[in-house]
Amino acid sequence: MYRDTWAEIDLTQIRENIIEIRKFLPRSTKLMAVVKANAYGHGDIETAKEAVEAGADYLACAFIEEAIRIRNAGLQQPILILTPIRPELVPLALEHDLMLTVTQASWFHEMRKYKPIHTPHKLSVHVKMDTGLGRIGIRTQEEWLEMVPWLRAPDVVVDGFYTHFATAGEADNRYLQLQIQRFLEMKEWSSISRIPINHYHCAGSVAALRFPELCMDMARIGAAIYGFYPEKLVPNIQLKPAFSMHSRLLQMKKLKEGEYVGYNNAYQTDSDQWIGTVPIGYADGWSQRMQNSEVLVEGVRAKIIGKISMDQLMVKLPMYFPEGSKVTFVGYSGDQEIQIQELANHIGGVSQEITSSITDRVLRIYKEGGGVHHEITGSRTKTY
């Protein structure tokens, strides 16, 4: 390890989370493990392998580059790309045996320039329905009927028909109920059209855990795999985060009252204070929104002060600590803990926003069975 800033990923915890989630799903429901955005910052290949070993039936990525990376790692599970790809990329998707999300009849019209109907490989698709999230998908029956002739082509397999909920994590589920009703109506469109569809799915992590009856043929589990879920809304399951992140004090200094710290003189001491510099910054994903949040220095809470710079930040300490002392941004130190949810509350976001923002400048150390399995940063890997 060349740099004193690293994240630790507990693969055993990811596996245990998936096993626990499985208990909540109906037996007939398949589990699609969502490993997009580098598995929410945890490492896509490592997490995908762990998910498959724990029993995931499908994998899902956001973009074709992510899916190809997973496929090239040797994983054979079906992989769904959640974001529609450009029509000219269909031959690439077929080459890597990838399933595609489709949302428009016009996409099929353009796609036929790149995949003639009588080519040997079949195109497997999941049709996305927009029931109220307002992002991508079919909203009207007219749009669906325009797509039906394309879905009936002999070289097209409709593996899935799905939607995504906007408010599954909110206590008030009235809008969720509205989306459910819309999706059930859309399912009727598919039945009337007599399009063979292998899987209907509408539940992501929170919806699947709160309302298992919504799981249908498959549940798309993303955030919950990594231990992110609304505990108060789902009290009967216990999932734990698999991610922690640490660094070390680079330098200590004693500043006098009235001195400044950081760009734009963003912080001024109001007394004599110990200030520590830590080698992590916004280029690592620890954005300037984290100013005034806390870290743990050898188990002692300390506040981030001044503006966070690209490679370094400063913390205010209650006492002197030796240079090289361990600094914990997420996780346990001594008898203290900083949870990702605490940091998410600080920035007004969600836990997965924090972990997926951590760049590949930060070394990932993979732990399994209590020991270090291997390390990955960028293209550099160490195996133990």
Q: At which of 226, 252, 275 does a domain end?
A: 226
Inter-residue contact 83 to 61 (CB < 8 Å): no
pLDDT recorded at residue 101 = 98
Residue 44 sits in a domain whose CATH number is 3.20.20.10
Q: How far apart are CA 220 and CA 202, in angstroms?
A: 8
pLDDT at residue 382 greater than cutoff 70? no
pLDDT at residue 304 greater than cutoff 50? yes
Show the DSSP H helices in the chain as ranges. Answer: 11-24, 36-40, 44-53, 64-72, 90-95, 105-111, 141-151, 174-193, 205-210, 340-347, 351-355
Active site residue 267: no
Residue 261 sits in a domain whose CATH number is 2.40.37.10
Average pLDDT over residues 288-311: 97
pLDDT tens digits for range 163-203: 999 999 999 999 999 999 999 999 999 999 999 999 999 99
The residues with which 9 forms a beta bridge, in sequence order, are: 243, 366
Domain that holds residue 258: 243-349
Instruction: Give the rounded distance of the alpha carbon of 71 from its chain centre.
Output: 18
In 3-state terms, what secondary structure has residue 59?
A: strand
Mean pLDDT of the chain: 95
pLDDT tens digits for range 271-283: 999 999 999 999 9
Q: At which of 171, 193, 226 does a domain end?
A: 226
Residue 376's pLDDT band (cuts 50, 70, 90)? low
pLDDT recorded at residue 381 = 43
Average pLDDT over residues 248-270: 97
* Same domain, residue pair 222 and 301: no
pLDDT recorded at residue 378 = 47
Interacting residues of 174 by C-beta distance below 8 A, sequence separation 6+: none
- Please check whether residue 18 lies inside any domain of the structure: yes
pLDDT recorded at residue 120 = 85
* Same domain, residue pair 84 and 167: yes
Average pLDDT over residues 206-232: 96
Residue 111, phi then psi, degrees to nearest 5: -60, -30
Inter-residue contact 222 to 204 (CB < 8 Å): yes
User: Which residues make up each annotated binding site for substrate?
Assistant: 135, 310
* Same domain, residue pair 311 and 183: no
* Same domain, residue pair 87 and 189: yes
Catalytic residue among 30, 36, 115, 128: 36
- Please check whether residue 270 lies inside any domain of the structure: yes
* Same domain, residue pair 257 and 301: yes
| Structural domains in the chain (count) | 2
Residue 375's pLDDT band (cuts 50, 70, 90)? low
Residue 195, phi then psi, degrees to nearest 5: -90, 120
Catalytic residue among 260, 263, 320, 332: 263
Which has more confidence, 382 or 324?
A: 324
Average pLDDT over residues 254-267: 96
* Same domain, residue pair 219 and 264: no
Percent of the chain with pLDDT over 70: 96
For the sheet containing 199-201, what is the strand order?
199-201, 156-162, 123-128, 99-102, 79-81, 58-61, 30-34, 218-221
pLDDT recorded at residue 374 = 54
Q: How far apart are CA 165 and CA 186, in angstroms?
A: 14
pLDDT at residue 12 greater than cutoff 90? yes
200 closest CA partner among 67, 105, 209, 189:
189
- Please check whether residue 303 lies inside any domain of the structure: yes
* Same domain, residue pair 28 and 136: yes
Active site residue 36: yes
- Please check whether residue 384 lies inside any domain of the structure: no
pLDDT tens digits for range 109-140: 999 999 988 888 999 999 999 999 999 999 99
- Please check whether residue 354 lies inside any domain of the structure: no
- Please check whether residue 186 lies inside any domain of the structure: yes
pLDDT recorded at residue 372 = 55
- Please check whether residue 374 lies inside any domain of the structure: no
* Same domain, residue pair 32 and 67: yes
pLDDT tens digits for range 308-348: 999 999 999 999 999 999 999 999 999 999 999 999 999 99
* Same domain, residue pair 38 and 176: yes
Residue 302's pLDDT band (cuts 50, 70, 90)? very high
Global pTM reads: 0.93
pLDDT at residue 373 greater than cutoff 80? no
Angle of CA points 42, 377, 73, to nearest 5°: 65
Q: At which of 226, 260, 287 does a domain end?
A: 226
The residues with which 365 forms a beta bridge, in sequence order, are: 8, 375
* Same domain, residue pair 199 and 322: no
- Please check whether residue 147 lies inside any domain of the structure: yes
pLDDT tens digits for range 24-82: 999 999 999 999 999 999 999 999 999 999 999 999 999 999 999 999 999 999 999 99
* Same domain, residue pair 256 and 161: no
What is the distance between the terminal CA atoms of the chain, rounded to a whole angstrom? 13
* Same domain, residue pair 213 and 264: no
